[in-house]
Amino acid sequence: MLFKKIAIAAAVATTLAFVGCAKKTEDAAADANAAATEATAAANEAETAADAAAVEAAPAAEQAATDAAQAADQAADAATDAAGAATDAADAATKAPAADANATNATATDAPATEKAAQ
């Protein structure tokens, strides 16, 4: 009889322990669900903030692209002008009269006069 009472007491204790563990597991599951819900909400807020930032940044990026295109156009125009000036200079050099061949046969007495003319 004593053995039966001990067995019954052990069974009751085991049942109570199992029920207590089950409640703790349910509480842990509820906490995990709440944490997952909060994480999902935070992710949604972050996505919304990223979308808003992208919308705000788009006009600035578009303006920067426009400014860069205008600067490139101005640089191309300047390069075209420089090429035209170089062509004009080459034409002028080609059309310039040739130097007098006698000028290379200068004498030593001409040197002071040349120096004075250069000054």
Q: Cα 70 to the chain's mean position, in Å?
A: 21
Residues 49-72 have pLDDT tens digits of: 888 888 888 888 888 888 888 888
Residues 89, 96: contact at Cβ < 8 Å? no
Q: What was the pLDDT predicted at 113?
A: 53
Residues 2-23 have pLDDT tens digits of: 666 776 777 777 776 666 655 5
Distance (Å, whole) CA 53 – CA 49:
6
Structure tokens at 55: 């919308």
Q: What was the pLDDT predicted at 77?
A: 86
Share of the chain above pLDDT 90, in %: 0
Backbone angles phi, psi at 39, to 5 degrees: -65, -40
Residue 28, CA distances (Å) to 31, 32, 102 in order: 5, 6, 110
pTM of the model: 0.39
Q: Where are the alpha helices (DSSP H) in 96-119?
A: 111-118
Look at 40 and 118; give whichever has higher pLDDT.
40
